[in-house]
Amino acid sequence: MEVRNVMSSPAVVANPSMPIREAALLMRAHGVGALAVLAGDDLVGVVTDRDIVTRAMPDGAVDRPVGEVMSPDPVTCRADQPVVVASEVMGEMQIRRLPVVNGDRRIVGMISLGDIAENVSEELAGQALGEITEMR
């Protein structure tokens, strides 16, 4: 099965200058734990709920821009890749969500361990999660 068949699409996106508070509200409104960060059409980062909690909340700096707390240059997967490859990348890179890009490297969605568990295999998602938690 290909990533395109299980990813969430379209991806919920932010821009680097968006206030963190706004990004958090966007996550809550869409029920997602990560936003793709775009500068124009270019994927420049990912900001997760964990990024917000660990990098912004301790200082109460929720009006700072997303660009200050995002993870830059995110690892991605392609929509036409097998889901098992995306799962392996998640395990190796210790991440729970991957932006999905097309052949032109434009964001087309997001895939999470939850998407894999729900639509493909709980066992496959569990293996990746095991790798993530083992290494931390």
pLDDT at 127: 61
pLDDT at 130: 61
Cα dist from 95 to 16, 68, 74, 132, whole Å = 21, 19, 10, 7
Contact present, 12 and 36 (Cβ < 8 Å): yes
pLDDT at 102: 92
pLDDT at 129: 52
Burial group, residue 103, by CB count within 10 angstroms (0-12, 13-18, 19+): exposed
Query: Structural domain boundaries of the chain?
Result: 3-135
Is the pLDDT at 114 greater than 90, yes or no? no
**CATH fold group of domain 3-135:** CBS-domain (3.10.580)
Query: What sign does the CA torsion over 57, 61, 63, 67 have?
Result: negative
Residue in the block written with tokens 């240059």: 73
The predicted model gives 76-91 an average pLDDT of 93
